[in-house]
Structure formats: C-alpha cells, structure tokens
Amino acid sequence: MFNWLKKKLIGFIKRVLPFLFDDESTRNVYYQTIKFVESTPQKSSVNTEEFIVVKYKDKLYWALFECPCGCHEVITLPLKKEQNPN
C-alpha cells in the first residue's frame, strides 16, 4: 500500500518537476529518497539527497528539496490543489 502510494507520488513529482529526475539525459539522480513527513520541517534540516513531501491526512501540502544546481538553497513547493477542493 505504501509502495503503491509512493510510486504514484513519484510519478506525479516526475511529471511536475521532470528536470529533477532527468536521469536519462544526465545519468544523474539528485534525490535518493523521498521522505514523507506530517509537518513542515526546518529548511536547515533538509538533506541534499532527500526529497521531502509534507503529507497530512492524505493531503499533500509541500515539497522541500535542496536546489539541484548546487547552491544549497532549499526550495519549497506547494502541492495543494487549491482550485479543486474535492
């Protein structure tokens, strides 16, 4: 069940942010793990190899990850579908 959800979510993230996972052209995978948390972590706690997804009560809220260009900036991306509450 968890693996199924994770696969689905990875598929979603790959569609939204294909450049982060473009391992075919660059042979380089930026994020080793996708980590699910229930509350937004401190930016300073985001590790380079982790793609963090804030998920609470089956709803996705945020994705946090370190910028793949190497500047060590932590990017926070909203995953909420605000236009479609159902």
Residues near Zn ion, by CB under 5 A: 67, 69, 71, 73
Q: Which two tokens stand for residue 79?
A: 């995953």
Q: Toward Zn ion, which CB reaches closer, 19 or 56?
A: 19
Cβ closest to Zn ion, residue 60 vs residue 75: 75
Q: Closest CB to Zn ion among 56 and 76?
A: 76
The distance of closest approach from Cβ of residue 61 to Zn ion in the complex, given in angstroms and rounded to an integer, is 23
CB of 70 to Zn ion, least distance (A): 6
Residue 9 in contact with residue 34, Cβ under 8 Å?
A: yes
Inter-residue long-range contacts of 9-16, CB under 8 Å, 24+ positions, other chains counted: 9/34, 9/53, 9/60, 10/34, 13/51, 13/53, 13/63
